[in-house]
Structure 1
Amino acid sequence: MRIVVTGGSGVLGSKVVARVRELGHIAIPASRRWGVDLTTGQGLAAALTGSDAVVHCASSPVRPGRTDVEGTLQLLGALASMSPPAHLVHVSIVGCDANQLPYYRAKVRAEEAVLGSGLAATVVRGTQFHTLLASIARVATIGRTRLDLDFSAQPVDVAWYARELVDHALGTPPAGSVRARDVAGPERITLAEAAGAVREHESRPLGRGIRVPALGRTLRAFADGSNLPGPDARIGGVGFTEWLARGRVSAVS
């Protein structure tokens, strides 16, 4: 099969490309690095030519309106012009519809566009990556003081998430646009626990914790567990502490 991967040079996209090729299929990375500008559509039609599926990993927390919303609309338009359209596997975030964070709101708008397109599309929501939780844990530590936010996560290993996305891409396309089961890692951990684990891994003093109240709608949503997977989520990959033990924290991005 020929599979196009938007954001193919990113943290997730590069893992998807590697997995597709590992299984003996053709992976076509699609990003500005490869001459494809998703926000304008430049080079997109050429990249999609002859493709069987598209794994849409391109995303920008900084400019989600352009990349996640406008880019998705460009992609949907290009797919609609294909005969037949390639199966779209769309990456999204667990709980994005329950949080007012601007990035998450953009993710919801992109999801709505995909699910309303009528195309063969599978939306796959995942939890935060281990790398992101490690980054947040570091930011929440100032000197020897740990800011204990009311925040828990069940992060997922990006390589395992990539495998799940590729499985969807290689599978039978749905008759229309659907949401698949959410995916998450096996370990639920608080931010305080994650910060302590990162500091211990780096042989730094654990320090003292200062509790920070969940002020504002965004922090309250996280405190309410909006980012946590439901009981029917697909669980797999290594947990956060095992990921740290394998020495992966240096890959934080």
Structure 2
Amino acid sequence: MKFLVIGGSGLIGSKVVQRLRAKGHEAIAASSSSGVNTLTGAGLDEAMAGVDTVIDLANSPSFEDKAVLDFFQTSGRNLVAAERRAGIAHHVALSIVGTDRVAAAGSGYMRAKVAQETIIRESGVPYTIIHSTQFFEFLAGIAKSAAGGDTITLSTGYIQPIASDDVADAVVRTSLGQPANGVVEIAGPDKLRMSELVGRFLTIINDPHHVVGDAKAPYFGAVLADDSLLPGPDATLGEIDFHAWLKSSQYASFASAA
């Protein structure tokens, strides 16, 4: 089979391309640097020639409310228009667990993801939307986004983080299957409060910031309920937990303290 991976040089995209090629498939890593621009539509028709499945892993370069909405709407419309012209058999998109709930709570980023998903559903192209929980690889970024002086104030809502390797495996598995014409969920094996996990992570890597849990602390502009970011009971769970991820990450030297 032939796959076009939008965002194919990113964290998940590079792993997906590698896995598909290892299975004997043709996987094209598409990005603006390779001449494929989803915002302008440049290169899309050429890149989709002979492609069976398009995997959309792209993310907005800006998280500002209007910019991120413009990105996902424009990119999404250009993609599905090119897919209809090319007769693509399966559109696979990676999104986030709890998009509707967190969008309703005020997150501009999640509203943009909801808009992207709506375009996919209404496109007429067979599709599968993968809702994933937060990646372990984002823990440092979550901490940085909430830092103020020596203190980091984070939501006490639960998360069920997943390793990027498990995400890539799920994307490949989904892409090789039949379109669900709906949503499938993936998550990590353990449910933890965001503030507690980030605090534990920072302690392990000897970061001096002090984490404070606050139920009203916003996450991507929204105040979370305890279950806003949790998957449903039918989610497929990854095998890599926090300690196993830490041992294989750039923080491996700290793993013995986990």
TM over 0.5: yes
Alignment partner, residue 78 of structure 1 = 82
Structure 1 residues 186-214: Cα deviation after superposition (integer angstroms, max 9, x where no partner): 11122232223222322345x75544351
**Residues 1:125 and 2:128 aligned together:** no
Alignment partner, residue 244 of structure 2 = 242
Shift of 1:215: 5.6
Residue 178 of structure 2: SS of its match in structure 1?
Answer: coil
Shift of 1:140: 4.3
- The code of the aligned residue for 1:76 comes to V
**Residues 1:189 and 2:154 aligned together:** no
Distance in 2, matches of 1:135 and 1:249, equals 14
Alignment partner, residue 22 of structure 2 = 22
Query: Are the structure 2 counterparts of residues 87 and 201 from structure 1 closer, same or farther at C-alpha, using a change threshold of 3 Å?
Result: same
Judge conservation of contact 1:127–1:228 (CA < 8 Å) in 2. Answer: yes
Distance in 2, matches of 1:249 and 1:101, equals 30
**Residues 1:34 and 2:30 aligned together:** no
Distance in 2, matches of 1:3 and 1:50, equals 9
**Residues 1:98 and 2:101 aligned together:** yes
Judge conservation of contact 2:157–2:215 (CA < 8 Å) in 1. Answer: no
Structure 1 residues 83-129: Cα deviation after superposition (integer angstroms, max 9, x where no partner): x3231111111111112311110110111111112211111111111
Residues 86-235 of structure 1: pairs in structure 2 closer than 5 A: 86-99=89-102, 100-140=106-146, 145-173=151-179, 178-204=181-207, 209-214=211-216, 218-220=221-223, 222-235=224-237
Structure 1 residues 3-59: Cα deviation after superposition (integer angstroms, max 9, x where no partner): 000011111111111111121111101110110110111000000000011111111
- The code of the aligned residue for 1:226 comes to S
Shift of 1:245: 3.4
Structure 1 residues 158-209: Cα deviation after superposition (integer angstroms, max 9, x where no partner): 12111111112112345xxx1232111111122232223222322345x755
- The code of the aligned residue for 1:212 comes to D
Judge conservation of contact 2:7–2:29 (CA < 8 Å) in 1. Answer: yes
Structure 1 residues 118-160: Cα deviation after superposition (integer angstroms, max 9, x where no partner): 2111111111111113321355455654435323211111121
Alignment partner, residue 51 of structure 1 = 51
Judge conservation of contact 1:146–1:195 (CA < 8 Å) in 2. Answer: no
TM-score, normalization: structure 2? 0.85
Shift of 1:65: 2.4
Query: Are the structure 2 counterparts of residues 77 and 248 from structure 1 closer, same or farther at C-alpha, using a change threshold of 3 Å?
Result: same
Distance in 1, matches of 2:130 and 2:154, equals 30
Aligned residues: 244
TM-score, normalization: structure 1? 0.86
Give unpaired runs (5+ residues) of structure 2. 253-258
Structure 1 residues 229-249: Cα deviation after superposition (integer angstroms, max 9, x where no partner): 111111113122331233444
Identity %: 36
Query: Are the structure 2 counterparts of residues 148 and 119 from structure 1 closer, same or farther at C-alpha, using a change threshold of 3 Å?
Result: closer
- The code of the aligned residue for 1:127 comes to T
- The code of the aligned residue for 1:48 comes to M
Query: Are the structure 2 counterparts of residues 245 and 144 from structure 1 closer, same or farther at C-alpha, using a change threshold of 3 Å?
Result: farther
Residue 4 of structure 1: SS of its match in structure 2?
Answer: strand
- Aligned CA RMSD, in angstroms, stands at 2.3
Shift of 1:223: 3.2
